[in-house]
Amino acid sequence: MQKLKFITFDVDGTILDSQNMIIKCLQMACGDMGIDCSAPRHQLLSGVGLPLIQAVPKALPHIKQEQIGPFVERFRAHYEVLKEQVLELQPLFPGALEMLETLKVKGYALGIFTSKMKAGLDSVLDSHNIRRLFSTIKTPDNGPGKPDPFLLNQSMAELNFTPAQTLFVGDSTYDILAGRAANANTLGVSWGYHTAAQLQEVGAHKIIDRMQDIVPTVENW
C-alpha cells in the first residue's frame, strides 16, 4: 500500500529551468531604473522561491526600499512581454515531463505550490501542455507565499490528503521550510537554486541529485 498519495511540486528550479528568464527580466528592470545589476549570478538568483516582492531585495541588496515596488512592476512588465518565449527561455528540465506523467499514471495526485504569479505560471503550463497533470495549483495570488505553509495546507484539505500522505518536492530552502511547517514529507532536489547542503540544513527529509530519481524515491518512501 502506498504511503504517499499526493505529490506537490515547486516550479522554478524544480521542474522548470527558468534561470535565463529571471536574469533577463532582472537586468532589463535594472536598466529601466538605473540600478546596478552586476552582482554574481548566484546573488541575482538568491531570492528565487520567495514571492517577487521579497525576492528582489535578496537579489539586489543595495536597492532602496522605495524602489522595490516600481522595480517589481518593471520586472513583471518585461516578463509579460517575454513569456511568449517560454519554450526558449523557460524549458522544462530534461526528464521532468516524463517524471510527471509517470507519477500520474501510477495513481498519484499531483499539485503545484509556487512563488510564480498565476499570469506567469499559466503561460508555462499551457506552453508545455502540463496543466492537465495537476489536481491543484497554488500561487501567491491565492494566499501567503512560501515559506508560509498556508497554501500547502489548503491543497491537502481540498484534496482530502493528510500531511503523512503528502510530499513536497522543491529546490529551495523556502520549499523545505514550507513543507516542514505543514508537517508534510519533503524532498529536496539539488539541481535548482539552492545547494544540497542548504536543503539539508533546513531539514529536507531526503535530497536527490537526478530527475530520474524522483519516481523511485516516491515509490520507496
- Summarised one tens digit per residue, pLDDT across range 84-113 is 888 888 999 999 999 999 999 999 999 999
Give the mean model confidence (pLDDT) for residues 68-72.
96
Please tell me whether residues 48 and 138 are part of one structural domain: no
Please tell me whether residues 49 and 80 are part of one structural domain: yes
Please tell me whether residues 140 and 59 are part of one structural domain: no
Predicted confidence (pLDDT) at residue 157 exceeds the cutoff of 90: yes
Please tell me whether residues 162 and 119 are part of one structural domain: yes
Q: Answer whether residue 35 is part of any domain.
A: yes
Please tell me whether residues 144 and 53 are part of one structural domain: no
Q: Answer whether residue 45 is part of any domain.
A: yes
Cβ neighbours of residue 158 under 8 Å, at least 6 residues apart? 136
Please tell me whether residues 129 and 74 are part of one structural domain: no
Q: Tell me which of 60, 87, 114 is where a domain ends.
A: 87
Cβ atoms of 121 and 144 within 8 Å: the answer is no
Q: Tell me which of 34, 66, 87 is where a domain ends.
A: 87
User: What is the widest separation between alpha-carbon atoms in the chain?
Assistant: 58
Please tell me whether residues 113 and 170 are part of one structural domain: yes
Please tell me whether residues 206 and 188 are part of one structural domain: yes
C-alpha cell at 145: 507565499
Instruction: Using DSSP, state whether 188 is helix, strand or coil.
Output: strand
CATH number at residue 37: 1.10.150
pLDDT of the residue at 188:
99
Q: Which domain holds residue 47?
A: 19-87
Alpha-carbon separation of residue 53 from 73, 140, 190, 211, 216 (angstroms): 10, 11, 25, 30, 36
pLDDT averaged over every residue in the chain:
95
Please tell me whether residues 13 and 100 are part of one structural domain: yes
pLDDT of the residue at 99:
99
pLDDT of the residue at 84:
80
Please tell me whether residues 79 and 121 are part of one structural domain: no
Please tell me whether residues 69 and 109 are part of one structural domain: no
- Residue scoring higher pLDDT (82 or 135): 135
- Smallest CA-to-CA distance from 8 within 174, 193, 134 is with 134
- Summarised one tens digit per residue, pLDDT across range 21-61 is 999 999 999 999 999 999 999 899 988 888 899 999 999 99
Strand order in the sheet with 136-138: 136-138, 109-113, 6-9, 166-170, 185-189, 206-208
Predicted confidence (pLDDT) at residue 1 exceeds the cutoff of 60: no
Query: How many structural domains comprise the chain?
Result: 2
pLDDT band per the 50, 70, 90 thresholds, residue 2: low
- Residue scoring higher pLDDT (201 or 45): 201
Please tell me whether residues 106 and 199 are part of one structural domain: yes
Q: Answer whether residue 166 is part of any domain.
A: yes
Q: Answer whether residue 1 is part of any domain.
A: no
Q: What is the pTM of this model?
A: 0.90
Backbone φ/ψ region at 107: left (φ over 0), alpha (ψ -120 to 50), beta: left
